[in-house]
Amino acid sequence: MRLHASCISFGGAGVLLLGVPGSGKSSLALRMMERGWGLVADDQVDLAATEDGLMAAAPAELSGMLEIRGLGIFEGLAAAPARLALAARLRPASSIARLPQPSRWQALGRDVPEFPLDAADVAAPEKLSWALRAAQGGLRQRAGAFAP
């Protein structure tokens, strides 16, 4: 299954960046890569169902490529498939609840936690890191997107 999205990873855990064109998917991927995260795919992501979840990878023709608005398309970057652990739905801050209800993103009969994120928020990289740790059970949360 191919979808319009970007995907990055940390420690082998993939995070799918979902949003309309211009919502900041590639920009957020770039910011995360500068913080040590890896590129999985930019602009188009191929998903495959596995026994233990969803695997994300770049289509062969786009592997190792990243578009940086205003600079162009860079190629030859290291990119590797990753098992999805989380999906971030990029949207404006004005549409994000202070304490969002838990949500799941589904594809191919599998699902992962999903949370809303404003890619333009200066704290977006830190929020993404915290969300991944929460999704993996590394943080206890009283209320919000990952609380039981």
Does residue 90 have a pLDDT over 90?
Answer: yes
Cα dihedral 102, 45, 76, 13 in deg (nearest 10): 30
Name all domains of the chain by residue range, CATH numbers in brackets.
Answer: 2-135 (3.40.50.300)
CA–CA separation, 79 vs 19, rounded Å?
Answer: 21
Confidence (pTM): 0.94
> What is the residue whose two structure tokens read 């191929």?
46
What pLDDT digit, counting tens, does each position of 92-132 carry? 999 999 888 889 999 999 999 999 999 999 999 999 999 99
Residue among 114, 90, 101, 103 nearest 144 (CA): 101
What pLDDT digit, counting tens, does each position of 22-78 carry? 999 999 999 999 999 999 999 999 999 999 999 999 999 999 999 999 999 999 999
Contact residues for 100 (Cβ-Cβ < 8 A; gap 6+)? 115, 116, 144, 145
